[in-house]
Amino acid sequence: MRGAARTVCAGGAAMVLAACSAVSSTPVIVLPQSTGSSGLQFSLSKIKNNNFSAMPALKPLDALGRGSIAVILPAVASAGHFKQFDAGYFGTAFGRAGLAPGQYTVGLAQGSQEFHAVQQAIAGGAKVLVLDTRYAGDGGQIESYAKNHGVPVIDYDWLTLGGTREYYVGFDSLKIGVLLGQGLVSCVSAWKVSHPRVIVMKGAADDYNSALYAEGYDAVLARHFSTGWKDVSNPRGTWDPLVARSEFKQQYAAHKNGHKKGHKNAPKQINAALIPNDENATPIITYLRHLGVKARTFPATGLDATIRGLQRILVSYQCGTVYKPIHLEAQAAAALAMYVWAGVKPPASLVNWSISDPQTNRSVPSALLTPEWVTRQNMRSTVIRDRFVKPAVLCKGYVKPCSGVGIRLAAR
């Protein structure tokens, strides 16, 4: 099946991108082998909302498990959603599925402390681990420890490269990249930016998700670069907002100065930016506003639907942001963990894809969720509807822009 691995496309992205090129150095999403499943049937399509109404269907698994399920998430300021959303969602999901508090634990660990947390969980009787090891140092070592103790691991939201996990649950990273690219294209048109001259920014060079994001938006933008848009700059990439700001400032100033000095071959000033997340966009857009760049004149993208990103979208300094409905991801991971814990093979309708770890070339059965592109027009029907953000928080200082898109402070 690996020979039929997607070229640049996977999931929803496969129907969006028609022309793609294989990239052997990045994780590749492939269609899973057709296999049968046993036990209770459960599908990702049943997970539709943040009311956790699908979870009670898993109660027949409750009596089959032994020991407990342990969820260990990162505790870092730069990814506050784990504490704010994911942890609580896991607790609610397991509770609605009928598990008693002693049958699961949900904890947060800082960096290298995650290894110790895993050791404690296994010593305490955990028979399944759900982990995000991106800040843990050597995530592969953590997973090897679990495997040596007979405890299967489910990677959550982050694939541990070189790891030994049994499953992966996350959002379709390639689709996220496609949404970023398409969002920039739509915004350039809507804001009537003539002769787009784009800086294409990236996340960290060694990041699994970043590689797939770039693969997605590069494929979208390539079509436009071949028909008139200018690909002005491609910095190395980072997830550090201050480093991203420095990368942007250097390129913005270099091209601006080169043009003014009359260098015939110097690209003209950058007037659009593919930025891979809201955090990196924050200091960049602040810098542009300080220079006097006005709303609806400089298209820029983002990811994660942060409060500041959404507020910039409300006042048209950012085109949109990719929203990952975490409540769906947590429910999918909780459901998968319960199957593994109960010793029942998960159905193909839950484990709907397979991704390849480029370090081991091992295929990893996966549950991939679909992200959404959020703009001013659909903010109310996405992040507000899902209670991902509170109107009172979003609209503080932005009452008029919120009202303009139908968001009221009293909304729930």
Q: What is the pLDDT of residues 204-252, one digit of tens each?
A: 988 889 999 999 999 999 999 999 999 999 999 999 999 999 999 999 9
In a domain, 381, yes or no: yes
Together in a domain, 303 and 253 = yes
Looking at the structure, tell me whether residues 333 and 396 fall in a common domain.
no
Q: Are 22 and 10 in contact (CB under 8 A)?
A: no
- Mean pLDDT across 312-337: 98
- Answer yes or no: is 213 within a domain: yes
Average pLDDT over residues 74-98: 92
- In-domain check, residue 339: yes
In this structure, the answer to whether residues 69 and 177 fall within a common structural domain is: no
| Portion of the chain with pLDDT greater than 90, in percent | 80
**78 lies in the same domain as 190:** no
pTM for the full predicted model = 0.86
* Average pLDDT, integer, range 16-45: 48
Asked if residue 282 and residue 140 are part of one domain, the reply reads: no
Is residue 195 located within the same domain as residue 340?
no
Is residue 298 assigned to a domain? yes
Q: What is the DSSP string of 66-102?
A: -SEEEEEEE--GGGTHIIIIIHHHHHHHHHHTT--GG
* Within a domain: 409: no
Structural domain boundaries enclosing 214: 173-323+373-403
Task: Specify whether 121 is located in the same domain as 61.
Answer: yes
What type of residue sits at position 157? D
Alpha-carbon distance of 96 to 202, in angstroms, equals 39
Helix (H) or strand (E) holding 356: strand 353-357
Residues 225 and 344 placed together within one structural domain of the fold: no
Whether residue 288 is found in the same domain as residue 164: no
Residue 218 lies in a domain: yes
One domain for residues 35 and 59: yes
In a domain, 408, yes or no: no
Residue of 322, 295, 326, 294 lying closest to 378 (CA atoms)? 322
Does residue 3 have a pLDDT over 70?
Answer: no
Tokens (6 digits) for 386: 């899902």
**164 and 204 share a domain?**
no
- Between residues 249 and 40, which one has the greater pLDDT? 249
In a domain, 71, yes or no: yes
> Which tops the pLDDT comparison, 89 or 261?
89
> Same domain for 145 and 13?
yes
Stretch 91-118: mean pLDDT, rounded?
96
Which CATH number covers residue 91? 3.40.50.2300
Give how many domains the chain has, as a whole number. 2
Cα separation of 141 and 150, whole Å?
A: 14
